Structure 1
Amino acid sequence: MQITHDKKLLIATGRSRKAAQWHNREMLWSEFLDKLARPTRTRETAAEYAAMGKAERDDVKDIGGFVGGYLKNGRRSNAGVVNRCLVCLDADNADAALVDDLDMTFINAYALYSTHSHTPEKMRLRLIIPLSRTVTPDEYAAISRRIADGLTLARFDPTTFEPARLMYWPSAPEDGEYVFRYADEPFLDPDAVLATYPDWTDASLWPTTKPLEAKMRRTVSKQEDPLEKRGIIGAFCRAHGIADVLEHILADRYAPTAQDDRYTFAGGSTTGGLVVYDDK
């Protein structure tokens, strides 16, 4: 594919979502676009795919994938992400207006392609944005959320901002619609996005969605009440609240912020990333 704005990317690829080892590799943005332009057609119809259970759907669409950055020792985990060169966002609640919004408001390079579950009636699109420099995982979290917020945060999967998130290479049912488009424009300057925050390192300023907040609270609510745990763990929890532990026992590791329910890890690069629920 011939484009004006091109650059080498360093990404990690894997043959399957279950791959234990991922391979860091260089690829031109133009080569990446070429790959996105040619989806794999699987053997089932769109109706047959929709009728499958989740496990079967996961197997069908797993034709390998990529992480938009470099993985330390080829291990796909959030702790193993060294840097990111691509912002990858899953718009699971996409609509036709998303394309119009990109055309009218986004002035940088991007690629947009449909995922295996996409149908004209229920659009599911993946947005890929190349960056002019690599960014740290913390920078990535702030940048990806700001971009999604500018395109209406509710359109995007609340978990799409994870640095180690894998994205499948494009595929579609044998009769399914496949959407692909791209913009040949300058790469996005991550520093310009970070500058839109008063302090990008303050995680409490990052855009979030009500579904994600609700999911986090549901996860917390499903946990056993620490005050009712048996043995030494329960005894410790009954004797010390989380705030007490953070401000006294772990005072060298965590620092309080202006918000009572948020603390900053001393060894990290962001602030307010630890959230306390109900002081338990």
Structure 2
Amino acid sequence: MAHVIDGNEVGVRIQNELSASVERLSDSGVTPGLATVLMSDDGASETYVSMKQRACEQIGIEGYHYEIGPDEPADELFDRIGELNEDPSVHGILVQMPVPDHVDEQRVLRRIDPLKDVDGFHPENVGRLVAGDPRYKPCTPHGVQRLLAAADADPAGKDVVVVGRSNIVGKPLANLLVQKADGGNATVTVCHSRTDDIAAKTLEADIVVAAAGVPELIDAEMITDGTTVIDVGVNRVDADNEKGYELAGDVDFEDVEEKAEAITPVPGGVGPMTIAMLLYNTVKAASLQEGVAIELPGQ
């Protein structure tokens, strides 16, 4: 049976270590501030934002939350971002995605001050990541790196297959893992919907990261014994329960657990790490903007 990598445990450890960094900033008169902006009435998005705000409170980050009706003009959102860019008490800005169809998502990303872009999606920050000089690593890919480290699954010299090519996970993760740096030095293959035979790739991998958004896409026949499997997927599938659905990953957990060396569950795997790394980026942003040098966990 595979070792189950507990993202909750690793995330709590990082948050506890970040608390010490927040205290050091506080000693210099700095309180890190994170602003979240929600322009949606989607229940899942509301839940994600509230979880992020609670996590901020737990380690001493000042949380600011703003809601904009999903039918409001796009300029309402852009004006709010502009105000937050100018607010010195706000060090990080996160606009919860997705935004309504009438709002240009790329314009939203470009509107955020790159120094306050704690998601790491502004073109300037993406360019720095690709160049090997990241200011802020995108939260979920960075969380995956930390989970691999926690499982003693160093990607250096290993064959890694990333299934999914999104701008949020697949592409930035591939860039992180291929870098000549700690947590990188892997040989990376990115698979996607146009890949002819995904199984042919995953069967050759030492590490498989599933981030395609397809429930239980990866099963035991697609990996070899001893593979480390990281499941980024969070999918709602119909279920006969009070909610009418349950969460499923991109990996058939029970099937793959029999063969893998290590595996992340859904929920409780990558999800908590995404929040932990958002807090990490916010603390780092406060340090950079205020000119206060601190140590961050795992640097």
TM category, shorter = under 0.3
Q: In proportion to residue count, which structure has more strand?
A: 1
Larger RCO, structure (CA 8 Å, separation 6 or more) = 2
When normalised by structure 1's length, the TM-score is 0.24
Larger Rg: 1
